[in-house]
């Protein structure tokens, strides 16, 4: 029954549509005596209707991202202010260069992230490499770091004292042959060396003090004597673990 009802409904819809089409059709009378004359466009029509308002092939503004909009706004401002007109293809080249730089920055951040480098050290000169105290000219084992720590504490420069505490850890690791010290190496380089040749206690302890060092020194966190005393205990504990 449902099958036949569907067929009847279909035929009824088709018939109604057909009759409606006939009603909508309008017969246009044709005068057989009327002559149709072909007309040509004026040869100057193309020259008359020129300009961006009559350019229907250009789809300006379509799919333009924020970068391209900003570039157009900026160079329009330059053109209006200084009379310097930037060609459209130059804008495209600048846009592609921006994409390349952004892509390079993203790749760089990914590499540094997966290499285990702390985020706070990404924007420092050489990550967490050691460059001062003349270490580029003198080996760390020849530097009297205890004297430097005492001098920093006397001057109440506790950030600098934390830096020297970190150098003492590197010095102890180098003297034990756990790492091969070099002033251009970073925390991640030393962590990889420690992980291969030492127990988890030294490895985890070094990661801990490396974080403190980055946070206080490169993060430029001011600390007082009380906070320094707490930090110093963690450095001293690791140093005793290394030299025992």
Q: What is the pLDDT of residue 29?
A: 58
Q: Does residue 93 surpass a pLDDT of 80?
A: yes
Q: Which of 8-17, 203-212, 221-230 has the lowest mean pLDDT?
A: 8-17
Give Cα separations from 125 to 120, 130, 131, 169 (angstroms). Answer: 12, 10, 10, 22
Pick 42 or 205 by higher pLDDT.
Answer: 205
pLDDT in tens, 163-174: 999 999 999 999
How far is it, in rounded angstroms, from Cα 26 to Cα 107?
Answer: 68
Q: Does residue 18 surpass a pLDDT of 60?
A: no
Q: Does residue 20 surpass a pLDDT of 50?
A: no
With CA atoms as reference, report the closest residue to 210 among 171, 139, 162, 153. 162
Query: CB of 52 within 8 A of CB of 58?
Result: yes
Q: Does residue 119 surpass a pLDDT of 80?
A: no
Q: What is the pLDDT of residue 44?
A: 62
Q: What is the pTM of this model?
A: 0.48
Give 120: exposed, middle or buried? Use CB within 10 Å, 0-12, 13-18, 19+: middle
Pick 234 or 67 by higher pLDDT.
Answer: 234
Pick 127 or 57 by higher pLDDT.
Answer: 57
Q: Does residue 204 surpass a pLDDT of 50?
A: yes
| pLDDT band of 116, cuts 50, 70, 90 | low
Q: What is the pLDDT of residue 31?
A: 59
| pLDDT band of 206, cuts 50, 70, 90 | very high
Q: What is the pLDDT of residue 36?
A: 61
What is the average per-residue pLDDT within 82-95? 79
With CA atoms as reference, report the closest residue to 234 among 175, 220, 65, 215. 215
Query: CB of 128 within 8 A of CB of 187?
Result: yes
Q: What is the pLDDT of residue 33?
A: 60
Q: Does residue 1 surpass a pLDDT of 70?
A: no
Q: What is the pLDDT of residue 153?
A: 93
Pick 112 or 144 by higher pLDDT.
Answer: 144
**SS3 (DSSP) at 234:** helix
| pLDDT band of 157, cuts 50, 70, 90 | very high
């Amino acid at each position: 029954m449902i099958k036949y009802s569907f067929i009847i409904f279909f035929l009824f819809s088709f018939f109604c549509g057909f009759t409606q089409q006939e009603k909508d059709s309008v017969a246009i009378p044709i005068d057989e005596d009327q002559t149709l004359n072909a007309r040509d466009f004026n040869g100057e029509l193309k020259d008359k209707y020129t300009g961006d308002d009559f350019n229907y092939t250009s789809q300006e503004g379509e799919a333009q991202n924020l970068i391209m909009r900003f570039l157009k706004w900026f160079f329009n401002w330059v053109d209006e202010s200084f009379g310097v007109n930037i060609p459209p293809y130059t804008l495209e080249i600048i846009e592609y260069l921006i994409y390349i730089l952004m892509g390079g920055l993203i790749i760089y951040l990914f590499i540094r992230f997966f290499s285990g480098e702390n985020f706070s050290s990404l924007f420092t000169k050489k990550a967490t490499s050691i460059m001062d105290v003349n270490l580029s000219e003198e080996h760390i084992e020849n530097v009297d770091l205890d004297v430097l720590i005492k001098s920093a504490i006397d001057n109440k420069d506790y950030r600098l004292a934390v830096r020297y505490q970190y150098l003492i850890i590197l010095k102890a690791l180098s003297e034990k042959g756990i790492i091969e010290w070099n002033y251009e190496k970073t925390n991640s380089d030393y962590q990889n060396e420690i992980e291969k040749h030492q127990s988890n206690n030294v490895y985890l302890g070094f990661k801990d003090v490396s974080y403190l060092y980055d946070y206080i020194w490169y993060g430029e966190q001011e600390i007082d004597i009380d906070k320094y005393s707490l930090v110093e205990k963690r450095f001293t504990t690791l140093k005793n673990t290394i030299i025992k």
